Amino acid sequence: MVNPTKHVGQPMKRVEDPRLIKGIATYVDDLRLPGMLHAAFLRSPHAHARIRRIETGAAKAMPGVVGVFTGADVNDQCGVVPCAAAIPDLKAPKHTVLAGERAYFAGHPVAVVVAQNAYVARDAADAIDVDYEPLPVVTDPERAIAGGSPLTHPELGTNVAYVHSVSSGDIDEAFRGADRVVRQRMVHQRLTPMPIEPRGCVASYHPGDQTLTLWSSTQVPHLVRTLLPGMISVPENKLRVVAPEVGGGFGAKLNVYAEEALCAHLAMRLGAPVKWIESRRENAAATIHGRDQIGEYEVAVTRDGRVLGIKARSVADLGSYLQLLTPAIPTLTGLVLTGCYKIPAITMEIVGVYTNKMATDAYRGAGRPEATYLIERLMNLIADDLKLDPIEIRLKNFPQPDEFPFHTATDLQYDSGNYQAALKEAQRLADWPALVRQRDDARAAGRLFGIGVSTYVEICGMGPSKAMPAGGWEWGCVRIEISGKVTVITGVSPHGQGEETSFAQIVADRLGVPIGDVVVLHGDTNIAHYGRDTYGSRGLVVGGPAIVMCIDKIIAKASALAAHLLSVSVDDVEFRDGRFVEKKKPDNSVDWARLAGEAYIAKNLPPAFEPGLEASSFYEPENFTYPFGTHIVAVEVDRETGDVKIVKYVAVDDCGVQINPLLVEGQVQGGIAHSIGQALFERTVYDENGQLLTGEFMDYPLARAHDIPDYVMGSTVTPSPGNPLGAKGVGEAGTIGATPAIANAVMDALGPLGIRHLELPLTPERIWRAIGQHAGVAAG
């Protein structure tokens, strides 16, 4: 037998890291092609304006400028930016690659300059004179659907893109039978994903082969290859998309953007490679944003804290147009709004709204952080109203471990779970009784000290094809090379998740080869012909089983060859620690090097044996996976300044079987860092004229090293029964579990002052004002 745990389960350092740390990795901006030209975009400074005239003469006349293109030059030759979300009765604007008659958000590309270098391109973009007629702007989604609002797209006649309803169980009965109804309005602020590497691409056309290669800083090279042929006139089989090293995505690069199509189009049109590298400011203004939901929530509960039903109505700000999954993201919120609780009835209405802002789309967690924040805040509000312990009320509503697979009111089938165990483990790690004493002592001394708990379940391993817009399977290929070395090719496209390491761990154990002999390739559609890429915590969970299937096929094939070489029947051969062994005579064996040599030299093969040792597979998941966990946070609030200090942070995450605990910990830590930002200070701000005021790191606060507390990390392991690895995925857990835990802790700290709820982010000023108001003293 193989030893499946020699590498799997070990906290191995990432094989990716040395090249990243040494600065010798190749990102898009590192690419230099002969004759390469540089593109720069001119973007609308207006949030909404009619474009009366674009004067490009001065720009075109500048030395080094190869071309200047406006919407009139390209929009009839490039298809519109695609949206893959299928929502009934969706009203959608036709979003062309460059603005046509109108620009409808600040940052909307209006013209593109191509020049011999990036400096001239930028200078020439400045020399373009656009005559704008400003039009009325709407930035507030609630105002956008009230009467008399300016319209983001007059041709649609409304700012409402869609109304989506989720409904299950007898909601009226739930509210009739309730002892109490808890209500709260909650706002999920807009956030900017801000990967450290902005977007960028290089497009190169080979006129002889008529092939186009697009290198792009993307999470989804295969989706780009699927969708780009609909925008430019290159067939899929003449198109190669490469995601080289990608410096973070967080969902922002789970998209097909206008700039990618335009650079491809211009490379063909101009007969030269075209490079475009996004600036930070462009990234803030014209790469998708996340969250931005406002809602009213009502929960029907019994006196003893059982939740009978939830009524929710939320307004989701989609921004000014639809990117790949824009309208689908808020609907995910409805899907997991019941959280990790047995809630028999739910109704949620989501209104997707257009405003003159950048499009929202998938940002780390995508819909689930919203839902988790809502339900976890609501659970605390219920506990407050009923004067019950927040832990007790959670335990009261959890499904029992033996109730899994657990069917939710929203028609999800939670694969496996033991929510009680994760909660208990978190309490143990937090030293709960001591933490409570610490709070009691602090309060007795007049300090504002709070403890917050969040329990969560989320949807990972996206996903079953029937539930995904364009297939949710994954593809993989494993090849034993003639030398016995192993090449693994995956259709997922890691950009920080570490699958070069975790897949090598799986393969080394299952094939019994040294891990150093395994190379994992990805991110190039000419190498990984098919794939559905990386998002929704799917890389390991869906990509991994495809690799396992390949390994099983190869071992089966190799067994036949081994039997032939060992002159025994297949039934007498056993695969053990990287060798195929005659069961009764263990010293009669062959290793991979010998097998591979024979398989490729092909002079001594069994009858009907295909040469080579390679297998590829498509893995189709039957269900999503549902990781879960508990986060416990203790904070102290500075009564005078409103500053929040995280005193203790405990995270217990159950992502099923862990292939590499170090990678798990890294993912959770990064996610919590995102959440600290969301909970305490991050927000994307547009002014009432639609100007983006958080367009640089000068004004958009990401969590920095000194904002991060010491984490106490733990885990429980409840394998997923749905895949051969038992893994559930962990890319988004931190962002989902942490925000409500921090918010609950801050609100617990402020509770003694009579403060019931504050919106995110819980900035010092917001807290200071609330303290002032509740102290009966006018703030300021």
Partner 1 sequence: MIPATFSYARPTTIDEAIALLTKHGSGAKVLAGGHSLLPAMKLRLAQPEVLIDIGRIAGLNTIAERDGRVVIGTMATHAEIESSALVARACPLLGQVAARIGDAQVRNRGTIGGSLVHADPGADFPAAILALDAELRLASPRGSRSVKAAAFFEAMMQTVVQPDELLFEITVPKTATSAAYVKSEQKASGFAICGVAAIVDAQAKTVAVGVTGVASKPYRATAVEAALRGRALTPDAVAAAAALAANGVEPLGDIHASPEYRAHLAAVNTKRAILKAVAQG
Partner 2 sequence: MHLHLIYQLPAPRERVFAAMTDPAVLQRCIPGCEQMIKDGEDSYEAHLQVGFAGLKGKYRGRARVEDRRPPESYTLTVDGKGAPGFVRATSRMCLGEKGEGTEVICDADVQIGGVIAAVGSRLLDAAARKMADDFFRALSRELTPMSAAQ
Q: Which residues bind partner 1 (CB under 8 A)?
A: 118-119, 122-123, 126, 279-281, 640-641, 643, 681, 685, 693-694, 696-702, 704-705, 763-765, 768-769, 779-780
Between 11 and 134, name the residue whose CB sits nearer to partner 2: 134
Q: With CB cut-offs between 5 and 8 Å by kind, which of partner 2, partner 1, none does residue 118 bind?
A: partner 1
Residue 137: both structure tokens together: 């702007």
* Shorter beta-carbon distance to partner 1: residue 304 or 697: 697
Amino acid at 278: E
759: tokens are 């919106």
* Residues of the chain by 3-state class (helix, strand, coil), percent to 5: 30, 25, 45
Q: Does 46 bind partner 2 (CB under 8 A)?
A: yes
Residue 511, binding choice from partner 1, partner 2, none, Cβ under 5 to 8 Å by partner class = none
Q: Select from partner 1, partner 2, none the partner in contact with residue 250, using the beta carbon and a kind-dependent cut-off of 5 to 8 Å.
A: none
Q: Could you say which of partner 2, partner 1, none residue 73 binds, taking C-beta under 5 to 8 angstroms by partner kind?
A: none
- CA–CA separation, 337 vs 728, rounded Å? 20
**Distance separating alpha carbons of residues 267 and 203, to the nearest angstrom:** 6
Give yes or no for residue 695 binding partner 2 (CB under 8 A). Answer: yes
Residue 765 contacts partner 2 per CB under 8 A: no
Our CB check for partner 1 shows the closer of 620 and 643 to be: 643
- Whether the CB-CB separation of 714 and 429 falls below 8 Å is answered with yes
Give the separation between CA 335 and CA 348, rounded to whole angstroms.
9
| Contacts (CB under 8 A) with partner 2, residues 64-123 | 106
3-state secondary structure of 426: helix
Q: Nearest distance from residue 421's CB to partner 2, in Å?
A: 48
Nearest CB to partner 2, comparing residues 45 and 721: 45
Instruction: Among 6, 691, 702, 772, indicate the residue that binds partner 2 (CB under 8 A).
Output: 691
What does the DSSP 8-state code read for residue 358?
Answer: P
Q: Calculate ∠ Cα 56-129-151, nearest 5°.
A: 115
| DSSP three-state, residue 638 | coil
CB of 117 to partner 2, least distance (A): 18
Residue 435 or 680 with smaller CB distance to partner 1? 680
Choose the one of partner 2, partner 1, none that binds residue 689, judging by a C-beta under 5 to 8 angstroms depending on kind.
partner 2
Q: What is the torsion angle, in degrees rounded to the nearest 10, for the CA atoms of residue 592, residue 594, residue 596 and residue 598?
A: -150
* Closest separation in Å from C-beta 134 to partner 2: 7
Q: Which does 764 bind (CB under 5 to 8 A by kind): partner 2, partner 1, none?
A: partner 1
For the CB of residue 19, give the shortest distance to partner 1 in the complex, in Å: 22
45 binds partner 2 (CB under 8 A): yes
Which of residues 74 and 284 has its CB atom nearest to partner 2 in the complex?
284
Amino acid at 487: T
Return the closest-CA partner of residue 441 out of 672, 592, 726, 647.
Answer: 647
Sign of the dihedral through C-alpha 214, 216, 222, 225: negative
Q: With respect to partner 2, which residue has the nearer C-beta, 179 or 696? A: 696
Write down the number of H helices and E strands in the chain.
Answer: 20, 28
Q: Are 451 and 632 in contact (CB under 8 A)?
A: yes
Min dist. Cβ of residue 638 to partner 1 (A)? 9
CB of 106 to partner 1, least distance (A): 15
**Site for partner 2, residues 133 to 192, rule: CB under 8 A:** 134
Closest-CA residue to 95 (of 87, 86, 151, 105): 105
Instruction: Give yes or no for residue 699 binding partner 2 (CB under 8 A).
Output: yes
Q: Which of residues 238-297 bind partner 2 (CB under 8 A)?
A: 281, 284-285
Q: In the complex with partner 1, which residue's Cβ is closer, 159 or 283?
A: 283
**How many residues contact partner 2, by CB under 8 A?**
19
- Phi-psi bin for 169: left (phi > 0), alpha (psi -120 to 50), beta? left
Phi, psi of 524 (to 5 degrees): -135, 115
Contact 375, 307 (CB under 8 A): no
694 binds partner 2 per the rule CB under 8 A: yes
Q: What's the closest the beta carbon of residue 701 comes to partner 1, in angstroms?
A: 4
CA atoms within 13 A on the CB side of 658: 22
Among 696, 754, 765, 775, binds partner 2 (CB under 8 A): 696
Stretch that binds partner 2, among 40-48, 370-378, 393-401, 512-520 (CB under 8 A): 40-48
What is the nearest approach in angstroms of partner 2 to the Cβ of residue 281? 7
Alpha helices by DSSP H, 157-210? 171-176
Q: Does residue 773 bind partner 2 (CB under 8 A)?
A: no
Chain positions 660 to 689 lying near partner 2, rule: CB under 8 A, are 687, 689
435 binds partner 2 (CB under 8 A): no
Nearer to partner 2, 103 or 371 (CB): 103
> Which C-beta is closer to partner 1: that of 62 or that of 593?
62
Nearer to partner 2, 45 or 709 (CB): 45
Q: How far apart are CA 471 and CA 53, in angstroms?
A: 43
Quick one: what does residue 620 bind among partner 2, partner 1, none, with the CB cut-off 5 to 8 Å set by partner type?
Answer: none
Q: Which does 697 bind (CB under 5 to 8 A by kind): partner 2, partner 1, none?
A: partner 1
Q: Are 490 and 546 in contact (CB under 8 A)?
A: yes
Query: Which one-letter DSSP state was computed for residue 642?
Result: -
Q: Which does 52 bind (CB under 5 to 8 A by kind): partner 2, partner 1, none?
A: none
364 lies in the binding site for partner 2 (CB under 8 A): no
Give the integer Cα–Cα distance in Å for 623 and 58: 58
Helix, strand, or coil here: 293? Answer: strand
Binder among 30, 55, 101, 126 for partner 2 (CB under 8 A): 126
Binder among 24, 601, 602, 693 for partner 2 (CB under 8 A):
693
559 within 8 A of 592, measured Cβ to Cβ: no
Based on the shown chain and the rule CB under 8 A, indicate whether residue 516 belongs to the binding site for partner 2.
Answer: no
With CB cut-offs between 5 and 8 Å by kind, which of partner 2, partner 1, none does residue 106 bind?
partner 2
Q: Is 80 helix (H, G, I), strand (E, B) or coil?
A: coil
Q: How far apart are CA 491 and CA 497, in angstroms?
A: 14
- Extract the tokens encoding 374: 């809502």
- CB closer to partner 1, 213 vs 287: 287
For residue 646, the one-letter residue type is I
Q: Quickly count: other Cβ atoms within 10 Å of residue 25's Cβ.
A: 16
Token digits for 176? Answer: 């009739």
Give whichever of 487 and 689 is closer to partner 2, judged by the CB atom.
Answer: 689
**CB-nearer residue toward partner 1: 115 or 246:** 115
∠ CA 590-593-596, nearest 5°, is: 95
φ, ψ (nearest 5 deg) of residue 214:
-120, 115
- Which of partner 1, partner 2, none has residue 77 at its interface (CB below 5 to 8 Å by kind)? none
Among the residue ranges 43-51, 144-152, 263-271, 535-543, the one whose residues contact partner 2 (CB under 8 A): 43-51
Least distance (Å) from partner 1 to the CB of residue 643?
7
Region binding partner 2 by CB under 8 A among candidate stretches 336-344, 580-588, 598-606, 693-701: 693-701
Burial class of 20 by CB neighbour count within 10 A (0 to 12, 13 to 18, 19+) = middle
Q: Which residues contact 353 (CB under 8 A, 6 or more apart)?
A: 141, 144, 145, 159, 160, 161, 315, 316, 317, 318
Q: In 148-179, which positions are buried (b, 16+ CB within 10 angstroms) versus exposed (e)?
A: ebbbbbeeeeebbbbebebebbebeebbeebe
779 binds, among partner 2, partner 1, none (CB under 5 to 8 A by kind): partner 1
Closest CA to 674 of 701, 694, 702, 705: 702
Per CB under 8 A, which of residues 450..469 are in contact with partner 2? none
Contact call for residue 692 and partner 2 (CB under 8 A): yes
Contacts with partner 2 by CB under 8 A lie at: 45-47, 106, 126, 134, 281, 284-285, 687, 689, 691-696, 698-699
